[in-house]
Structures are given as structure tokens and as C-alpha cells.
Chain A
Amino acid sequence: MADTVVTHDIPSVYEPSLFGTYSKKIGMWLFLMSDSLTFGALLYAYSYGRISTAGWPTPFHSTSIVNATIMTAFLLTSSLTMVMAVRASVQKDAKMQTIWLLATIACGAGFVILHGMEWSKLIAEGLTLPMFPAVPGHEVSAEFANVAKSVPQFPSTFFTLTGMHMVHVTLGIVYLGVVALRRKFIPVLLALWLIAWLATPSYSPFHYGAHVLLVAAVVISIILWLKPKVYDSSDVEVAGLYWHFVDLVWMFIFPLVYLMSTRI
């Protein structure tokens, strides 16, 4: 992989960088350190709840696990396409870089959509938080409803951990979209927002959650207006760091939240 190493010249009025790389990359690594502590605290809260609760439920059936496994496959594939995007960017192949980035975005979007459907199904079946509105016209599973009532820690930790991860994947999609398409991504994002908003019923948490995309569109419009720039291979590599990190976090959440809460 020696050909995929991104090089960057450091202006000579400064001391050579301590890690022999460019600042953006160090900045991203540091951000990931902080973010891993954020996720670490959430995982700690999960473990704490799990240990301190007698009779932790294991309600997930094979449908959930199959679904989550397909989601995992999407994410792992997206990591591969991300590596290809970085490779294309180092080889100065702009076309392939865009294509691989869009493929990564597509895999990420597939993950979020599957996850969203999974959430909606669980909520409809009664594995829900008290503040989520009831889903009309849907059979509530007695088992899920009982879990949500007797161990509220279970849905609490489930929705918090996976929700926080979903927000990270969504922001990652926005991030990669900006790197891939720059200004042209803003109409795409607005379209995604409208689809997510209008295609979900008003009792769904995603109906209002979709507005995250609107906020993101406003923020990136301001950023790109203040600082229009062409993204080079270093930006693609740094975006890749973030994307791989989000994948890695899922590799903790998937076994802890799904596999360890399955009836065997």
C-alpha cells in the first residue's frame, strides 16, 4: 500500500511536524480520540446498566440479527470502497475518486435506511421509549412490550447507542458528499432531507430526525460559501479516517447490543 501514502509539504518556516504528517490528519486523529471517549462513556453507561439490572432481557430474534448482519456487511463494504477512493485520490484519478466516494455514500445510506426500518419495526412492536408516539394499526409483541416496561434500561441503551452511531454515519455521509461533490452536494442533501421528511409518517422519530439533514445543509452552505475550495487527496484521506472510525464503533455496538441480547 506504499502508493496510497498521502504526502504533503510543510512550509519551511516552521519546525518539522512531530509526527511527520500534515495538521489536518493529526487534527482528525485527535478528534477521533475524543469521539472514542464519547462512545466509550455511552458503552460504559450500557455496561453499567446491564450489570446493575437483574435479569437483563435477550429479546432479539433471528430477523433482527439477519437484518443487523446485512447492515454490518454494508458498512464493511463501505470501508473497502473508502480505501479505493483514497487510492484513486492519491493516483489523481478524479473520476474514480468521485465514483468510489459515491459508492461509499450509497453503502452508508443503505446502512442508515435498513437501520431506520429496524428501529421502526421495533418501536411498532412495542420495544419503545415512553416518549415515542404509539404506532397506529400495528400488532404489539407482548414480549417486547414487557421488556420495555420491566427493564426500561434496555430500550434506553439500545436507542441511545445505535442512535448516536446512526447520527455519526449520517454526518459521515454528509461529510463524504461534500468532499465528493462540493457545492453540487447541497441540492442532493436538500432532496434527501425532503424524502426523509415526507416519506416517514408523523409518529416516526425519523420524521423530525430528518431535519438534521436540513441543518447540515445550512451549515455546509455557510462553510462552502465562506471557504470555497477544491478538496485534494489529503482531505479524502482524512474523511476516510472518520469513516473507518465510525465503522469500527459499529464493530463494538453490533456484538454488545445485538448479539449479546439474542435468545440462543
Chain B
Amino acid sequence: MGADLWIISIAIFCLGALMGALNFITTTLDMRAKGMTLMRMPLTCWAWFVTAILGLLAFGVLLSAGILLLMDRNLGTSFFVPLGTVNGVLTGHKGGSPLLWQHLFWFFGHPEVYIAILPAMGLCSQLLSVFSRKPIFGYKAMVYAILAIGFLGFMVWGHHMFMSGMSPYSAFAFSIMTMGIGVPSAIKTFNWLGTLWRGKIRFSSPMLFAIGFVSLFVVGGISGPFLAQPVLDIYLHETYFVIAHFHLIMGVASIFGIFAATYYWFPKMFGRMMNEPLAKTHFWLTFIGAYAIFMPMHYYGMAGGLRRYSQGTEVGWINQLWPIQRFISIAAFVTIAAQFIFVFNLFWSMKKGKKAVDNPWEATTLEWTTATPPPHDNFGGLTPVVYNGPYEYSVPGAPRDYVMQTDAPVTARH
């Protein structure tokens, strides 16, 4: 019963995600302000756009998988059940294949990790540019890299199934494709570094989290090519190495994106700034905490520490790794505790925070042209007209070091 409710809720979630994706895509295609061509969109919007496309294509498949699973559990079909038992109860089911489930699930599952991280990539690109007071390095390359990541994301689901006994030739193809994703990812990483290079960096809390995101993305991502190789994956698959990789890049990096976005857009949402010293404390504790949790996990995994087991005390070699586990646990508790700083800051700043001006970060994009907090209809019924790209910072000859997207067109180009 519990599992059925859970599957039904996932199915409803699929429909919701689908409707959300429809809305995002049509809005991006059809409701851009005058002058906001696709190549003038902030990278945040590009990332959300591609995320919505991924959601559109991936959630439909998960919906099917969920329906089949529900039928297997309740109607007596046997899509996924190879033998006569379900939950230890003997049934007439037989002839199904758990591999079918793996295919359907991971065809959704891999795009899903990009659904989780692309928005963070987009908004951190935006923040790095704003707080470095420099145009984003290689705007077009960033856009194409997002598209390439989205496209390749649909070709690589098999890298979760190297252990399933698949043909080595398929495994090879999935492996090559997966490592191919390293190319657009590296393009993005180098562009982020290029944006920071010689910028007039302002280390405000959103920027700290954006830099933290880049750091976690690199460190978590670098173990991806290890796991993408069937030979290594067969050893590492059941170990904590996978947990470390996955949580650094998709878990913590995405969460850093959420934090960065919250600190960045909070003034626009509530008309007040968040407390900066508290935010910085939160950042450093979380940043160091994340590494303290997940770096040791790599060693624990390489030494053979298994995942998916609740208890390993009877196993000699895991016993010797016990201090690592203890260290990870303590680091995790400290890091979780640090999140209460954020929660406190969030609610305290809504009421007591310093009043925010309309454009506290001196950013160029449209949301900063309207009042803080925004009036009804965001722009008070007056849709703005766009003349510039989203990252016109430190433009030679401009009166300020930034040119709003709605300002008169810039003539002097860098």
C-alpha cells in the first residue's frame, strides 16, 4: 500500500513536471520581451529552457514505467517480475524482466541528473559574470554546451547498467558517449574560470556560493570519467566512490546553486537584503563541511567500503575503515547544523533585513529594472524593451560599469 501510494505520487509528479515543462518552453519561445532574442537571454533562462525540454522528454517515460509498476503490483501483470513472488508473496507473475525496469528507469534517470544540475549551471554562470564585473566568457559556447549536455544526456543511460550483464559492445558505446559529456562540461568549466580571470571580483555571499558550485562541480565531475569506464565501474559500482561522486556533483553542487540563487534574488523577492556575515558563515561551514563529508568517501569506496548495506561490522576490511565512517558522520552532523544558520537568516531577513534598493547587485538583467519587491504583473503592465545582451559589464565608454539590457544600445564593443 505504501509503495503504491508512493508510485502514484511519482506519477502525479510526472504529470506536474510535464505541465511545468510545457509552460516553460512555450513561455521561453513565445513570451520574450521585444528585443529579447534567444541569444540575448540570460544563461539562467537558457538553462531552464533546456531543463524543461529534458523534463518534457524524460518524465513521460518515467510515467510509463510507473504505470507498468503499478499494474505489476496490483493487476497481476508481469512486466518486471521474473518469478512468482512479489514482496515475498507467491503470485502468478512470471516471465518479466527487471532489466526492462532498469532501461525505462535510467532512460529517465540520467536526464534527471541534468534536470537537477542545469539550472544551477545557468544561474552560477550568471552570478559569476555579475560579481566579476565582466561579460561571461564565451556566451555562445555556454549556450551550445548546455544544449550539447542536454542532447548527450539522453544517450548514456546504459552507464548505470554496466553491472547488468550487458554486451561489452553496448557498454563500450555508452562509455564513450558518457565521456563525451566531459567535453561540453569542460567547456563550461573553462569559461567559468575565464570569466573570473582578472575580474573585479566582489565576494558577496551569492558569489561565494557560485564559486563553491564551480569547485564542487569540478571535483565531483572529475570522478565521472572514472565511473564511465566499465572496467573501473565494475569494481567501484557497489562502493561509496559512487556515492561520493554523485553527491558532490548532483547533490551538493545543485544545492549550492539553490543557495546562490536564494541569496541573489532574495532582495528582489522580499525587498530586504539577507544578513551578509551570517551568509558567509553559512557558506564556509557548508563548503568545508561538504568536502569533509564527501572527500573521505572516495577513499572509503576505493578501499572497498560497500554501499547499500546497513551494517558492515562483521566484515574485517570494512572494520578497519571504521574511523573514516565516524569522521564522515561527524562532518555530516556539523554541516546539517550549519544549515540552521541559513534557515534563521532567511526568516530573520524577511522581517529585519536591511532594506534593498531596486538593483543591489548592479546587475543588467530585466528583473533588476523593476521595483523591489516587484509590482503585480512583475513590470506593472509595462513590458520592457531589450536593446543589449545580458552581460554588458565594464563596457568601455559606458557611463557606469554595467549597461542594463533595457539601456540605450551600447556602441563601443569590447
Taking beta carbons and an 8 Å cutoff, which residues of A are in contact with B?
10, 12-15, 17-19, 22-23, 26-27, 30-31, 33-42, 44-45, 48-49, 52-53, 129-132, 149, 151-153, 155-157, 159-160, 164
Give every chain B residue within 8 A of A164 (Cβ-Cβ): 67
Give every chain A residue within 8 A of B77 (Cβ-Cβ): 129, 152, 155-156, 159-160
A130, closest chain B residue (CB): B76
Residue contact B91 to A130, C-beta cutoff 8 Å: yes
User: Given the complex of chains A and B, what is the CA–CA distance between A155 and B78 in angstroms?
Assistant: 9
Is the CB of B146 closer than 8 A to any CB of chain A?
A: no
Residue contact B95 to A49, C-beta cutoff 8 Å: yes
Interface string of B63-92 (1 = CB under 8 A from A): 111011001001111110000000000011
Residue contact B29 to A153, C-beta cutoff 8 Å: no
Is the CB of B93 closer than 8 A to any CB of chain A?
A: yes
User: Given the complex of chains A and B, what is the CA–CA distance between A53 and B97 in angstroms?
Assistant: 10
Residue pairs across A and B with Cβ atoms less than 8 A apart, 21 shown, are A13-B33, A14-B30, A15-B34, A22-B30, A26-B26, A27-B22, A30-B21, A30-B56, A35-B60, A37-B60, A38-B60, A39-B64, A48-B100, A52-B95, A130-B91, A131-B75, A152-B94, A153-B78, A153-B96, A155-B77, A156-B78
Residue contact B383 to A45, C-beta cutoff 8 Å: no
B76 to chain A, nearest CB (A): 3
Instruction: Identify which of A12, A35, A129, A151 gathers the most chain B CB atoms within 10 Å of its CB.
Output: A129
Give every chain A residue within 8 A of B107 (Cβ-Cβ): 41
Q: How many A-B residue pairs have CB under 8 A?
A: 131
User: Given the complex of chains A and B, what is the CA–CA distance between A41 and B94 in angstroms?
Assistant: 20
Is the CB of B25 closer than 8 A to any CB of chain A?
A: yes
Known: A131-B76, A152-B94, A156-B77. A26 touches B30 (CB 8 A): yes
Give every chain A residue within 8 A of B61 (Cβ-Cβ): 37-38, 40-41
Interface majority SS (helix, strand, loop, mixed), chain B: helix
User: Given the complex of chains A and B, what is the CA–CA distance between A42 and B37 in angstroms?
Assistant: 38
B164 to chain A, nearest CB (A): 14
Known: A13-B33, A15-B34, A129-B76. A33 touches B65 (CB 8 A): no
Is the CB of B32 closer than 8 A to any CB of chain A?
A: yes
Is the CB of B59 closer than 8 A to any CB of chain A?
A: yes
Residue contact A17 to B30, C-beta cutoff 8 Å: yes
List residues 22-70 of chain B with CB under 8 A from any CB of chain A.
Answer: 22-23, 25-27, 29-38, 56-57, 59-61, 63-65, 67-68
Give every chain A residue within 8 A of B64 (Cβ-Cβ): 37-39, 41-42, 45
B25, closest chain A residue (CB): A30
Is the CB of B171 closer than 8 A to any CB of chain A?
A: no
B67 to chain A, nearest CB (A): 7
User: Given the complex of chains A and B, what is the CA–CA distance between A17 and B383 in angstroms?
Assistant: 16
Residue contact B35 to A15, C-beta cutoff 8 Å: yes
User: Given the complex of chains A and B, what is the CA–CA distance between A45 and B26 in angstroms?
Assistant: 31
